[in-house]
Every structure is written in C-alpha cells, then in structure tokens.
Amino acid sequence: MLLQIRLHDGTSNEIEILESRHACEIATAFDWEAERRRFEQLAETGAECYLPSISFMDDATRMLEFGPNTDQTFWVSYRYSTLKSSFGFYSVDHQSDLQLPACTFEMALDLVRLHYEEKHEEIVAFLPAESDPQDEGPNDACPGPPTNERPATGTGDASHVIA
C-alpha cells in the first residue's frame, strides 16, 4: 500500500508500506500538532498552504486520508470508485468521497487497520453517507480535506479551513 504524508507547504513523501502495524507507527510518530501550527502560521500570511495529512492508497485506488483539526481531533476522508450502470448499455465510473469531520486519532488508526485488511464495506458502513451538495444549506457543508490539486489559502483565520 502506498503511504503519503503531505506537509503544510504542499511537499509530500511517499513510501510503500506493506503492514498496517508499520503504517500506524509512522502515523503515530509524526508530529501532527507542530505541522498543524506551521499550516496555521502560513495560512495567516495569505500564502498558499495545504492541510497536513497522511493517506493510504491500495491497489484498487481506494484512498483513506486523515489529518488534524484545531481541537485535537482528526478529519477522515475515504475515496473510492464504483461502476454504475447507465441505462444498461455501459458502465460509468462513479467516485465516492465519504468524510468524517472529527474523530479521535485512535479511531483514525482503526480505520487504517480496516483499510489494510481490505474491509472496504466496514469502512463505508462506519463513515457517514455521502450527501448531495444541492440538499445542503450554505452553512451545512463540512469543508473536509482538500485534494492535492486545491491549495488552501490563508485569510487570517485558519480555523475555517480545518474541519
């Protein structure tokens, strides 16, 4: 499984990790609080910055990612593809992104273990169902983690960026 740690400045390190025990050791050893503070400092200047995170991508391109919030909790995102039939003629690749705005670090590590054990259905059952953005009011949407392509930029208050 490919493990990637993304830092506040957008740089990242990738490593192939075969066992969940090693992946959890790496996630536990990382200084999340210091990296979150670096992110907030950079965001306050208005510079391009990224939420620090760690992600795990399996061979089926399912990705579990999590990172720190401002209140000692962690956000979690789980992205995966499914094939949906289109009027029975052909299949369409559908991307799903399930997000949990806050959980304990231990809960995030439990999800990592499930991901390594290829228990996709258990992860999907645990995380909140996808919501349709059209059904949400202007303040109902959880910002969640950005993708690698979308930098967060500072506006003087980094708390709005971290879910």
Tens of pLDDT along 28-70?
999 999 999 999 999 999 999 999 999 999 999 999 999 999 9
- The tens digit of pLDDT for each residue in 121-144 reads 999 999 998 754 444 433 333 333
- Which residues sit opposite 53 in a β-bridge? 6
Sign of the dihedral through C-alpha 46, 162, 152, 13 = positive
For the chain, the structural domain boundaries read 2-129+140-160
* E-assigned strand segments in 17-163: 48-49, 53-57, 63-68, 74-86, 90-103, 152-153
Distances (CA, A) of 104 to 29, 93, 159: 16, 32, 18
Q: Quote the pTM value.
A: 0.76
